[in-house]
A and B are shown apart, each in its own frame.
Chain A
Amino acid sequence: MSGADWLSYSLQDFVMFGPQVFLRLFVRINQDLWPWQLLAVITAIFIPQLILRQNIAARRLAVGLMALAWIVSGYGFLVGYFGPISWPAAWFGWAFVAQGLLLAAAVFAGGIHNSRFSVGEFAVLWLIAVCGLPWLAIADSGQWHAVALFGLAPGTTAAAGALALALMTKTWRWLYLPLLVLWSLFSAALLWVLQTWWLLVTPVATLLLVGAGFWLSPRTAQNPD
């Protein structure tokens, strides 16, 4: 294909579904899973409690729960619901599963540090993400059932999950970073084309929380083992 041909493509040409179908993915997963998403809500609230304990076992459990959230939102939402209407979404779904496995590996292979850091700020940012971001899908769709919960909706999961950077040792942090950035760029482009303006806040928040994750992480993170 010539350069001029490529120039004739717009972002729009690569999005093969409309906003209605996309927003209904949130509604459908919530309807299909009811009432099990309450577990996701409880988990989202429980994670900062664990972090506030400044204790390595609790911290590992928190990261383990985050790992599960990546896997469930990747396999459930992205592969199961989003994948049939978008191939890139299915690929991202498998990448989310891999990200969850990476976090789980960090838990077992000493990738979670033992050092003290500003857990209060972590908890506040976490709660802002898991309590604030879910409403954006409601704002765009006008439907309560579209609530984008942590652990189910990939956007909210990635945004809150970005804070795990604060808990990881240096090497693991760099392994964890690429998907956060790629996902943010992909979803920002997608939401832009779909003109779901409220939801567009989520990838922006994710990138800000990536920054916060690095900022919160202690300079000299101690490997606990």
Chain B
Amino acid sequence: MADRFSRRQFLITAGLAGLALKSPVLFANTSGSTALSPIMRRIPGTDESTPAIGMGTWITFNVGGDEQLIAQRIEVLKTFFELGGTVVDGSPMYGSAADVMGEALNALDGHDRIFAATKIWTGDESETRAEAARSSRRWGVDQFDLLQVHNLLGWQGHLETLKQMKANGEVRYIGITTSHGRRHREFAQIMEREPLDFVQLTYNVLDREVEDRLLPMAEERGIGVIVNRPFQGGSLFRRFQSEPLPDWAGEAGVGNWAEFFLKYIISHPAVTCAIPATSKVEHMKENMGALYGKLPDADQRQRMADYVRSL
């Protein structure tokens, strides 16, 4: 374990050296002591912390049997690990992404570095265990850290089984997901009634509905929050990347648009982690930049939201 730790530290440090070259603003604005510490978030009700930036796999890791693209995705995951990432999110809905993740984890010997999160995505409520087992074979992990009911599909039955699985030690955490702002009322009711460890929902600098109810409720009830679609599926870059960052971006710890979008999210006190997806090493480096340095305060967050609205 000690060996593994020092190897991991070495990899992170090497990765950060590259990141520092890429994002000098970020490192110039941080005090020496914090520059190399990733921003960690405690999982509510536990002593465990996870890095505040994870990664998603929708579309980006669904490359089928394409060896050339699999090799590229392995590089993406390697960069993620090197820069201190652990939380990876998948779903049986994402085509071959689970198999590609399995191949990447094998290639990088990454099974013990990952916080593996997947979903149960079937209308058949008696299939919970079987689907979790299929996914763990595809990822090559003994068990998942987190199993989530995907988009509330068959949630009653699945959640009952997931609770039993958690009690038996077959999974560490359980949760539910939604996205695009769908079914928030039902989502809130489940959050009120069920013993959830995590919820996953869409939140970004433009889609802020969850700030009104779901995020405060998660904070109050001690539920971890994983944020999907942090870049609105990439459209935030298409809309804003050609615009300049505000003059005060550096003061908020922001060196590029990826950091702008991600730091806005993870600086919300209820958020445990954001899971941007990318197929490119360069983008992964930019995204992981948000895991380091200063975070915007409440005033700066408001200015960030106002700024994108003004563009």
Contact A21–B180 (Cβ < 8 Å): no
Write the chain A residue with the least CB distance to B153: A1
Separation in Å of the A171 CB from the closest CB of chain B? Answer: 38
A159 nearest CB across to chain B (Å): 24
Given contacts A18-B60, A86-B95, contact A5 B183 (CB under 8 A): yes
- A contact residues, total (Cβ < 8 Å): 21
The answer for the CA separation of A81 and B58 in the assembled complex, in Å, is 19
Interface assignment of A28: CB less than 8 Å from any CB of chain B: yes
Query: How long is the Cα–Cα vector from A197 to B65 in the complex, in angstroms?
Result: 25
User: Restricting to A48-97, which residues have a CB under 8 Å from any CB of B?
Assistant: 81-82, 84-87
Please encode chain B, from 43 to 61, with 1 for each CB lying within 8 Å of some chain A CB and 0 for all others. Answer: 0000000000000001110
Let me know if B181 and A8 touch, CB within 8 A.
Answer: yes
Q: Do residues A85 and B183 form an inter-chain contact, with CB atoms below 8 A?
A: no
Closest chain B residue to A4, Cβ basis: B182
Complex interface: chain B residues within 8 A of A24 (CB): 66, 68-69
* B233 sits at the interface (CB 8 A): yes
Q: How far is the CA of A84 from the CA of B211 in the complex (A)?
A: 38
Interface of B, secondary structure class, is loop
B10 on interface, CB distance cutoff 8 Å: no
A223 at the interface (CB under 8 A from B): no
Q: Within 8 Å CB of A85, what residues of B?
A: 62-64, 95-96
Is A5 a contact partner of B66 (Cβ separation < 8 A)? no
Assess the B64–A84 pair: CB atoms within 8 A. Answer: yes
| CB within 8 Å of A: which B97-133 residues | none
**Chain B residues near A20 (CB-CB < 8 A):** 69, 279
Q: Report whether A16 and B183 are in contact in the complex, using a CB–CB cutoff of 8 Å.
A: no
Does B14 sit within 8 A of A, measured CB to CB?
no
- Residue A12 is within 8 A (CB to CB) of chain B in the complex: yes
Contact residues in A for B240 (Cβ distance below 8 Å)? none
Interface size class of B (residues with CB under 8 A): 20 to 34
In the assembled complex, which residues on chain B have CB atoms less than 8 Å from the CB atom of A8?
180-182
CB of B68 within 8 A of CB of A17, answer no
Closest to A81 in B: B64
Complexed CA–CA distance, A187 and B96 (Å): 20
Known contacts A12-B233, A84-B64, A84-B96; A17/B59 CB under 8 A: yes
B206 touches A (CB below 8 Å): no
Which of A5, A16, A82 lies at the interface centre, i.e. has the most chain B CB atoms within 10 A of its CB? A16
Docked Cα-Cα span, A140 to B20, in Å, equals: 36
Contacting pair B182 A17 (CB below 8 A): no
Most buried by B among A17, A24, A25, A28: A17
Judge if B307 is at the interface, Cβ distance under 8 Å.
Answer: no
B180: which A residues are within 8 A, CB to CB?
A: 8-9, 13
Measured CA separation A87–B96 after assembly (Å) = 10
Q: Whole-angstrom distance between the alpha carbons of A17 and B60 in the complex?
A: 7
Tell me the bound Cα distance from A8 to B65 in angstroms: 32
CB-based nearest B residue for A21 = B63
What 0/1 pattern do residues 7 to 38 of A give for CB contact below 8 A with B?
A: 01100110111101100110010000000000
Instruction: Enumerate chain B residues within 8 angstroms of A25, measured Cβ to Cβ.
Output: 64
Cα distance, A34 to B59, chains bound together (Å): 29
Closest-CB distance, B123 to chain A (whole angstroms): 12
A10 to chain B, nearest CB (A): 9
A-facing residues in B55-94 (Cβ within 8 Å): 58-60, 62-66, 68-69, 93-94
Q: Which residue of B lies closest to A80 (CB)?
A: B65
Chain A residues closer than 8 Å to B96, beta-carbon distance: 84-85
**A84:B95 contact, CB within 8 angstroms:** yes
Q: Using an 8 Å CB-CB cutoff, how does the interface string of A100-123 with B read, 1 for contact, 0 for none?
A: 000000000000000000000000
Q: Find the B residue at minimum CB distance from A87.
A: B95
Q: Which residues of A contact B68 (CB under 8 A)?
A: 24
> In the complex the two chains form, what is the Cα distance from A12 to B180 in whole Å?
12
Docked-complex contact B94 and A21, CB < 8 angstroms: no
Interface centre among B64, B66, B95 (most CB of A within 10 A): B64
Contact B93–A16 (Cβ < 8 Å): yes
B56 to chain A, nearest CB (A): 12
Q: Which 10 A-B pairs rank lowest in CB-CB distance, beginning with the nearest?
A: A84-B64, A85-B64, A84-B96, A17-B62, A85-B95, A21-B63, A85-B62, A16-B95, A5-B182, A8-B180
- Please list 19 pairs of residues, one from A and one from B, whose beta carbons are closer than 8 Å in the complex, sorted by A's number: A5-B183, A8-B180, A8-B181, A12-B233, A16-B58, A16-B62, A16-B95, A17-B95, A20-B69, A21-B63, A21-B69, A24-B66, A24-B68, A28-B66, A81-B65, A82-B64, A85-B62, A85-B96, A86-B95
Not counting A16-B59, A24-B66, A85-B96, a sample of 18 additional A-B residue pairs whose C-beta atoms are within 8 angstroms of each other reads A8-B180, A8-B181, A8-B182, A17-B59, A17-B62, A17-B64, A17-B95, A20-B69, A20-B279, A21-B63, A21-B66, A24-B69, A81-B65, A82-B64, A84-B64, A84-B65, A84-B96, A85-B64
Spell out A's residues near B (CB within 8 Å): 1, 5, 8-9, 12-13, 15-18, 20-21, 24-25, 28, 81-82, 84-87
